[in-house]
């Protein structure tokens, strides 16, 4: 909660004051806080999934081996997703395309398209 408050106050100060991340250290710290919050939420979701699968095992819906197979597959898919994000990030940097300039032209999918979005600026299309 403290981290969210820090991020919120930092963003309010930056937006309200019309500032830009001129201080690289502040930008790095802010990104680090966002990454930490993201990691915590991911761990919470993992724990919830494990609990639900434990219930399914207890109810006889799946076996312990099937539960482990599901957890293993989920971890494998999460790793593949991370690799794709890294690949997209690298491609964006190498492409020479100015995604900031392209942002007004994105369309569909609730406004998500070429520019930064749910994938933290690493794709979104």
Instruction: Give the DSSP letter of residue 62.
Output: S
The answer to whether 39 and 6 have CB atoms below 8 angstroms apart is no
Of 80, 70, 2, 77, nearest to 40 by C-alpha is 2
DSSP code of 100? H
Q: What is the pLDDT along the chain (125 residues), one digit of tens a residue?
A: 556 655 565 556 555 555 544 566 666 777 788 888 888 998 999 999 999 999 999 999 999 999 999 999 999 999 999 999 999 989 999 999 988 888 888 765 544 554 455 445 444 44
Residue 123: other Cβ atoms inside 10 A: 20
Confidence at residue 36, expressed as pLDDT on a 0 to 100 scale: 87
Is-contact 123 113, C-beta < 8 A? Answer: no
Taking CA atoms, 1 is separated from 34, 36, 43, 115, in Å, by 12, 12, 15, 29
What is the structure's pLDDT at 54?
96
Domain positions in the chain: 2-91
Q: Distance (Å, rounded) from C-alpha 53 to C-alpha 49?
A: 6
Query: What does the alpha-carbon distance between residue 81 and residue 79 come to, in Å, rounded to a whole number?
Result: 5
Token duo for residue 11: 């963003």
Question: Over the stretch 73-92, which tens digit does the pLDDT of each residue have?
Answer: 999 999 999 999 999 989 99
Asked if 37 and 64 count as a contact pair (C-beta separation under 8 A), the reply is no
């Amino acid at each position: 909660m403290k981290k969210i408050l820090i991020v919120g106050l930092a963003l309010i100060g930056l937006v309200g004051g019309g500032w830009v991340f001129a201080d690289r250290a502040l930008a790095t710290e802010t990104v680090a806080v966002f990454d930490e919050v993201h990691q915590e939420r991911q761990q919470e979701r993992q724990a919830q999934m494990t609990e639900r699968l434990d219930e399914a095992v207890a109810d006889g819906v799946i076996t312990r081996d099937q539960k482990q197979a599901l957890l293993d597959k989920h971890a494998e898919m999460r790793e593949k997703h991370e690799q794709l994000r890294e690949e997209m990030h690298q491609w964006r940097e190498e492409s020479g395309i100015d995604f900031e300039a392209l942002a007004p032209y994105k369309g569909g999918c609730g406004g998500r398209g070429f520019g930064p979005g749910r994938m933290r600026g690493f794709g979104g299309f």
